Amino acid sequence: MNRTTPLPGTVKTESYRLRGDARLTEEAGGSLVLEQSRYRLRLPGLEAGRRAVLLRMVENWLSDLQVAQLVAGLEGDSRLLPTQLLVRRLLLHSWLERRVSTGAGVLMDVVPRRIGAQSVPPQRRHRPGAVYRMSRFAVLRAERGRMVAYSPLSTVGISCPRFRLAAVLARACAEEIGLGEVAGEAGVDESAAGFMLDELFSARLLLTPEEAEAEAGAAPMALWSAEELWLHDRSRPERHAAPIGATDRFRGLPAADLGRTAAAEDRSSIALPAPPYETRESGSLSTVMARRRSVRGHDDSRPVTLAQLGEFLHRVQRLERRDRDGETTGVRPYPGAGGLGELEVYPLVSRCAGLPGGLYHYDSVHHRLAPVASPGPETERMLSFARGTATMPGPPQVLFVITARVGPLMRKYEGIPYTLALKDAGILTAWMYLVATDMGLAPCALGAGDTASFSALAGLDTLAEPAVAEFALGSCLPDSRESA
């Protein structure tokens, strides 16, 4: 084993720069603005020192010492504390990347994925003599000219500028490694290797043997394939701040045709008669389908009623249990994979005549609402996120969060359970549209939701019951204009 000799008193230094997917701009009034995807932080009234630090961090790494030297040179030592507080604030909210170095050189960069309060993972430190394994969910990928390792269970990734990270993780895939093995593969002394091990451990790229065993052999994590967990992670803004929703990043490219069409001169194609939609037949399926629209305006002077909410939930989500060949299955108003009835509905009520606001769970067997959480900051964030996602003029009167108990699907199916849950959620969403239209209510499906706030309120294990869809419902304005 190629092990370097530990150097006594190895000192760790840290430096910082603006995260690679963010940008710094200046407003006409002089305020600096940090922007990243759907996040924006305005910093007004910055004096010369703090402005210089932020501008320098766009392209360069600055250590605490370099920050102090820059500010002291411009404004004197008295302005060091406000600048240090600003840097710490930006670090805690993940606007900055963090570089860990020793006298021997750069060890690794900590690359944030998420933005906002509590976006920095808890610091985990290695134990002397302990060994570690690589997480089966970890991936390595090229990103902005560097290699970065990520776990979908962490809010940060790790990049190694000296390209030794891959060797460390490759060995951790094959065997349990400790401090000496990290030092040997990375070409550093054991003190520096300890700093690396702490960061890899905190980012959940390296795990204890017990944690690695739980990932592979205990529910709920053992039920997830790496591909499905990464799909879930990317499509839900919980541990990352990557762009999501209608970003139009390929605007300007030729638009693809909607659906496959036959050439006009193809004699083998057969023209089909138009379906006989009769709008005068109120309540017929063809009429309801023809009238179906996304309606984003609600009449808050005449909100949806408790009776309407009860009827809607019964028509879209009730569950009748059936015993067949010794196996209990469920029958809902819409088809579902394996008759497992894995979808659950959580209504978040903003305005409903006859029902206090708050988050509820719909008991689809007994047709009841179980209170989950009272109105508060988290429910307001969920409603605000829904309003922005659906471009509604106000918060939805009722926001349905659709979750999937993925365990039953994962136990029965392999390779496709999460996609089945998404397909079932799509069927339920379509059914919600039809029922709401038939009832004269205003329906609108959402492309994403505030998963973090919902999980905090519901107390759900997001690996056992993740949120997979959202749907808004309310009363129609008397003169509402419906939009597809």
Tell me phi and psi for residue 9, to 5 degrees: 70, 30
Lowest average pLDDT, out of 136-145, 191-200, 276-285, goes to 276-285
Using DSSP, state whether 347 is helix, strand or coil.
strand
Domains of the chain, each with CATH number or no CATH: 9-95 (no CATH), 104-218 (3.90.930), 285-475 (3.40.109.10)
- The set of residues, in sequence order, having a beta carbon less than 8 Å from that of 65 and lying 6+ positions away, is 13
Average pLDDT over residues 6-16: 76
How far is the C-alpha of 135 from the C-alpha of 224, rounded, in Å?
13
Q: Given a cut of 60, is residue 254 above it in pLDDT?
A: yes
Look at residue 243 in the predicted model and tell me its pLDDT. 84
Does residue 252 register a pLDDT over 50?
Answer: yes
Task: Provide the mean pLDDT of the chain.
Answer: 88
Say how far apart CA 155 and CA 113 lie, in whole Å: 5
Write out 359-408 in H/E/C secondary structure.
EEEEECCCCEEEEEECCCHHHHHHHHHHHHHHCCCCCCCEEEEEEECHHH
Amino acid letter, residue 478: P
Instruction: Mean pLDDT check: name the lowest of 119-133, 233-247, 280-294, 412-426.
Output: 280-294
From CA 233, how far away is CA 466, in angstroms rounded?
Answer: 10
pLDDT interval class at 242 (50, 70, 90): confident
At 69, which helix (H) or strand (E)?
Answer: helix 64-75
**Mean pLDDT value of segment 289-307:** 88
Give the span between the Cα atoms of 141 and 165, in whole angstroms.
12
Residue range 301-310: average pLDDT? 93
* pLDDT of the residue at 256: 53
Picking from 416, 246, 259, 256, the residue whose alpha carbon sits closest to that of residue 338 is: 416
| Residue of 144, 55, 157 whose CA lies nearest to 112 | 157
pLDDT at 441 over 80: yes
Q: Is 70 exceeded by the pLDDT of residue 270?
A: no
**Per-residue model confidence as pLDDT tens digits over 343-359:** 999 999 999 999 999 99
Alpha helices in 121-235 (DSSP H): 165-174, 179-186, 190-202, 209-217, 226-235
Which pLDDT does position 260 carry in this prediction?
46
More confident call, 276 vs 332:
332
Q: How far apart are CA 312 and CA 441, in angstroms?
A: 10
pLDDT for residue 272: 55
Q: Is it the case that residue 265 has pLDDT exceeding 70?
A: no
Residues 6 or more apart in contact with residue 318 via CB below 8 angstroms: 332, 333, 364, 367
Q: At residue 465, does pLDDT exceed 50?
A: yes
Q: Give yes or no for residue 141 having a pLDDT over 70.
A: yes
In contact, 197 and 126? CB cutoff 8 Å? yes
Q: Residue 451 contacts by C-beta under 8 Å, 6 or more apart in sequence?
A: 236, 237, 238, 462, 466, 467
pLDDT at 15 over 70: yes
User: Are 330 and 319 contacting, i.e. CB atoms less than 8 angstroms apart?
Assistant: yes
